Structure 1
Amino acid sequence: MTVRNNVSNRDNSNSYRIRERDTLSKIAARNGTTVDALAQLNNIADPNRIRAGTTIQLPSARDGFEGTTANPTQTNVGARQNPGDTFDAGTTAAAGLTSPNASGTNNGYRNIQDLGAFTRGGSNSEAAIVVGTSEGNRRPDGSFTASYGGHTDPGNAAHNRGSFSYQGTGANTPQQADQIWNRELTNATPRYEAAARAAGLDPNNALLASTYFDLHTQSPRAAQNFINREMPRLAQDPRGVTRDSLIDARVNAYRNDQGVLRAAGFNHSESRLRADQTRRETALVTALDARGYRSGTTQADGVPQGQVPVPTPRPVSENPTVAPTPRPASERPTAAPTPRPASERPTTTTNGATPTNLNDTERVAATTDRAAVQTRTPWISQYDASQVERAGDKACFRAATAMARQSGANVTDVTRRIQVATGEGPNGITVDRQAAERGRNYIDQQLAAGKPVVVGVNHKSTANVGNADGITDHFVVITGRGVDQQGRTYYTFNDPATRNQSRGADTNPNNRFYVDENTGGLTRPGPRTGYVVGRQFDVSMIRPNA
């Protein structure tokens, strides 16, 4: 059954009669729309239950799913296209091209380990940020432009909202719009994965997958041509899967079976279409680079200058339970400190301070997978006197609250803490299971809102008299949540107890808490001795945000 034959099933009222073995997803794919749009338009409560012989309505030209959206400040670029005239005969069938010498996807971009996770998290999903950057509604650091809340599409005067410039029904807020479109991309992912594998390409490649998600957001029909016809050609392209080859593929995806360009939103002008596709693909590259998907970069060193959140002023004191103590001369910043030779640098500290290896400069390879929910929290060393009040061995809490503050989270005082640990012994802490569950729920809620959470951890058996509970030895910042390949839930964190960013940042695969099935608490396995960045961490308290 070809798409060309299916087009003839439509009548002049833009309706479709359901056939045997039809599914709503198949109908949506053939007609350049989505399951959500069809279900909402036809009041279908269960998209998995439709009846052959029933006639349903197809979305009109302003359903919000077909077309192109650019930065709303631009003119004549970004007109939404009419699903009825974008292509003369609908979406092409798969080209069936194969090559034993496929170039693959070794293009310098890491793999997205879980494509499903890439489209989860509402407005915090990686897809919302990356595609939103292309749409002009987001920035690579995850922040929002003025158009995110809503703007008028210059092409069809429809109202757009959210990261993906959604124009459909069922969304009263940008956040609801993002949830709808994340679901649409999730539904479209299996077709993309199957087509990529058939073409000899890696569907998890960050640049290839993001290009498909972006093109599907712009024009579902063009995206279908892209996976059916253009991906097999990409596999044979001597340039490989690169920005330039992807731009060509995007443009060609707007051609019909006869090779005629059908891009109504650009008045069928190849020069205008190519300019827009170049802009969008370049924006994707910028976003992926900034978010650490290019091999050899991290999130911190990938964010372009000027897009890192602006730090807010630091208060004089950030921990009301610890009286300020004069800083020794070794901790006071100087105008231009002179590096000491390695033989003179301290390797550990004493008198109860954080045991830190100040000679550690070895770069830790960043993790290859990413958390489904990830805040944009900068890493700060507790030894960085330019950002941390009274920087030094005992400044972990002040460094943690500084990280949180730069992400828009203000940590409340210690009297509002969620106390997870009720005691400690030689083998670790005793956990209040109900408090641990309440704490995890709170962390999940804050991460969903884009805010990190400061937590106290226990990493040694001796009491710590400097903290309110006498149990907490150190503070870190939880920055994200994901599921690993074994199906275990984990929480990423930034650890300030080092001067080595690759070791302290949440890109370090060792900086993850897992849920202890026996206690319900959060733990990072490790030894009880040695430098603090490698020790076992057991979350002892959670410090809520204001």
Structure 2
Amino acid sequence: MSVRNVSNRERDPSSYKIRERDTLSKIAKREGTTVDELARLNNLADPNKIRAGATLRLPGQRDGFDAAASTQNNQGLRRQPTQTTGDTFDAGTTAAAGITSPNVSGTQNGYRNIQDLGAFTRGGSNSEAAIVVGTSEGNRRPDGSTTSSYGGHTDPGNAKHNRGSFSYQGGGARSPDHADQIWNRELTNATPAYERAARAAGLDPNNALLASTFFDLHTQSPRAAQNFINREMPKLAQDPRGVTRDSLIDARVNAYRNDQGVLRAAGFDHSETRLRADQTRRETALVSALDARGYRTGNTDQAQPSNVPIPQPRPASERPTSDTVLPDNVPIPRPRPSSERPVTTTGGATPTDMNDTAQVAAATDRAAVQTRTPWISQYDASQVERAGDKACFRAATAMARQAGANVTSVDQRIQVATSEGPNGITVDRAAAERGRNYIDQQLAAGKPVVVGVNHKTGRNVGNADGITDHFVVITGRGTDAQGRTYYTFNDPATRNQSRGADTNANNRFYVDPNSGNLTRAGPRDGYVVGRQFDVTMVRPNA
């Protein structure tokens, strides 16, 4: 193992004080890292502009997250065995294996997809990543509550102060929630490389178990995570076990090997037994957290541990605060087998086929303007308050909120429909144009827009205008092969993500040339997700 002898790192091996005539490339070469990594760790907008006397964070022995030597005691505190000088495992172990596979069946492991990985890592301590990875770290529980170590504790391995879900050790964090916001951004920045590697390997990057494993490993050791995506994910795609807990544990352990296959994990005394025990514990914690939070679909023959009880949510007064306030995290129970479920639809405001599991093929084209808006079912009690037949607006606002848009009150709506009769709605053409212009402006700013729609005959008495029957979220705008402009939308009126998400080619509004309104053609009866939708109101964002 290489031992660096850098004088201005002896006091703090996780930082470097910039000297005269230093450049970022010189520092990167000296420290065994890259310019991109240093720029990312230090949020440098221009890597060519650094100032002598300033301090850089380094991806070195203990940068606060390269915690390859971390284990946990019974209280969930991080502790680290005595380490030698240098990193926790050797540098130079991130060469890609060059193995690719078209096989995507390995990600059919019984865990549903995370519709938007950006939303998964957004929201401070309320983000799903903070809760799931925090469970692995020992600072959170699957219901979102915190352990005693969340607020802050000293790492016995390097005497640094840890705080928050991810055991953040860096500077500038004002609170545990702020520390979580910082590391959520780090995970967001690391996501594109992970997505590219997963697709190149023939794996689905949105699979909840695979993505959570990457986020957790990147939190523990960014270098091991780099090996994981470059070298181990292509092997996972060819593993006959698929992407399961056991295969992921093997991949995590192997991520600590160099390119010659030698285990380099100094924090574990290069002991595979000790390292495997730690990786098994962490992966098992991820499985427990994902199961408890409703990510398990049950469509797998792979046995996975699931003996953690479904926890009850804490009262609102006890939950950690965040700049982004998410709905109550109440886990939903696992779905019953289809043979035990009733075949009838719901009889409430949103007729829904509760047995719909058919995979709808994604559209072959993609909207030119597309926001990062997650799809959420209005029946998902883990993300929607009072989930059910009448929760479409709450689900729609939850989707918008996770994409950074806060929907204003109904008094500020753009009312497109003025009345409803036997032949449908009457449209105010000027209001329809104003609504489209507003939607275009918001999409250009990266924000989705919640809209009300009419999909059935008969006056609706439950909404402010007496016309709106349902709410969906407009997520993007594109042009089809015929040159027509369309608007994609997420529809919460189903439990089937492939049908409700904006990837479904049927979830598109087109401009009616007669009225100027946005409409989706379809019948006036049957399940809501297939009906004709005519936009009735546009709900502006704050």
**TM-score interval, normalised by the smaller of the two chains:** 0.5 to 0.7
Superposed counterparts of 1:115-154, under 5 Å: 117=118, 121-123=122-124, 127-140=129-142, 143-146=144-147, 150-154=151-155
SS of the counterpart of 1:529? Answer: coil
What residue number does 2:415 align with? 421
For the Cα contact (< 8 Å) 2:377–2:395, is it kept in 1?
Answer: no
Counterparts of 1:83 and 1:434, CA distance in 2: 65
Distance 1:115 1:378, change over 3 A: closer
In the TM superposition, residue 420 of structure 1 has moved relative to its aligned partner by 3.2
* 212-221 vs 417-426, greater mean Cα deviation: 417-426
SS of the counterpart of 2:106? Answer: coil
For the Cα contact (< 8 Å) 2:94–2:230, is it kept in 1?
Answer: yes
Distance 1:137 1:405, change over 3 A: farther
Distance 1:375 1:354, change over 3 A: closer
What is the alpha-carbon root mean square deviation over aligned residues? 6.0
Aligned length: 459
Equivalent of residue 524 in structure 2, options 507, 513, 529: 529
Counterparts of 2:349 and 2:195, CA distance in 1: 47
Superposed counterparts of 1:11-90, under 5 Å: 11-14=6-9, 15=16, 22=25, 30=33, 34-35=37-38, 38-39=41-42, 44=44, 46-50=45-49, 57-59=56-58, 61=61, 63-67=63-67, 74=75, 78-79=79-80, 84-87=85-88, 89-90=90-91
Counterparts of 2:398 and 2:315, CA distance in 1: 5
For residues 46-68 of structure 1, the C-alpha deviation after alignment (integer angstroms, 9 at most, x for no partner) is 24435899997453755322215
Counterparts of 2:181 and 2:356, CA distance in 1: 37
For the Cα contact (< 8 Å) 2:35–2:47, is it kept in 1?
Answer: no
**AA aligned opposite 1:505:** R
In the TM superposition, residue 132 of structure 1 has moved relative to its aligned partner by 3.3
For the Cα contact (< 8 Å) 1:66–1:82, is it kept in 2?
Answer: no
Counterparts of 2:54 and 2:397, CA distance in 1: 55
In the TM superposition, residue 31 of structure 1 has moved relative to its aligned partner by 7.2
Percent of counterpart pairs with the same letter?
41
SS of the counterpart of 2:184? Answer: helix
For residues 430-464 of structure 1, the C-alpha deviation after alignment (integer angstroms, 9 at most, x for no partner) is 44676788899999xxx99xxxx998542246544
SS of the counterpart of 1:424? Answer: strand
What residue number does 1:471 align with? 467
SS of the counterpart of 2:286? Answer: helix
In the TM superposition, residue 217 of structure 1 has moved relative to its aligned partner by 0.9
Equivalent of residue 358 in structure 2, options 357, 362, 365: 365
- State the TM-score, normalized to the length of structure 1: 0.60
Distance 1:251 1:23, change over 3 A: same
Counterparts of 2:477 and 2:132, CA distance in 1: 22
In the TM superposition, residue 152 of structure 1 has moved relative to its aligned partner by 1.3
For residues 451-509 of structure 1, the C-alpha deviation after alignment (integer angstroms, 9 at most, x for no partner) is xx99854224654466542323x355x6x8866999987554544xxxxxxxx337362
Residue 497 of structure 2 is aligned to residue 507 of structure 1: yes
For the Cα contact (< 8 Å) 1:92–1:256, is it kept in 2?
Answer: yes
Equivalent of residue 219 in structure 1, options 201, 208, 221: 221
For the Cα contact (< 8 Å) 2:397–2:450, is it kept in 1?
Answer: no
What residue number does 1:166 align with? 168
Counterparts of 2:54 and 2:414, CA distance in 1: 57
Give 1 or 2 for the bigger CA radius of gyration.
Answer: 1
Distance 1:80 1:10, change over 3 A: same
For residues 312-340 of structure 1, the C-alpha deviation after alignment (integer angstroms, 9 at most, x for no partner) is 9xxxxxxxxxxxxxxxxxxxxxxxxxx9x
Distance 1:112 1:269, change over 3 A: same
Distance 1:208 1:128, change over 3 A: same
Counterparts of 1:294 and 1:28, CA distance in 2: 45
In the TM superposition, residue 281 of structure 1 has moved relative to its aligned partner by 1.2
Counterparts of 2:309 and 2:440, CA distance in 1: 34
For residues 397-446 of structure 1, the C-alpha deviation after alignment (integer angstroms, 9 at most, x for no partner) is 5x668989999x9xxxx996443325136564444676788899999xxx
- State the TM-score, normalized to the length of structure 2: 0.60
Counterparts of 2:517 and 2:65, CA distance in 1: 42
SS of the counterpart of 2:419? Answer: strand
Tell me, which stretches of 5 or more residues in structure 2 are unaligned?
10-15, 301-305, 317-339, 363-370, 402-407, 481-485
**AA aligned opposite 1:11:** V
For the Cα contact (< 8 Å) 1:112–1:118, is it kept in 2?
Answer: no
Superposed counterparts of 1:6-405, under 5 Å: 11-14=6-9, 15=16, 22=25, 30=33, 34-35=37-38, 38-39=41-42, 44=44, 46-50=45-49, 57-59=56-58, 61=61, 63-67=63-67, 74=75, 78-79=79-80, 84-87=85-88, 89-94=90-95, 96=97, 98=99, 105-106=106-107, 108=109, 117=118, 121-123=122-124, 127-140=129-142, 143-146=144-147, 150-155=151-156, 156-192=158-194, 200-202=201-203, 204=205, 206=207, 207-231=209-233, 234=236, 239-255=241-257, 261-266=263-268, 269-289=271-291, 290-292=293-295, 296=299, 306-307=310-311, 309=313, 356=351, 362-365=355-358, 372-373=373-374, 378-379=379-380, 397=390
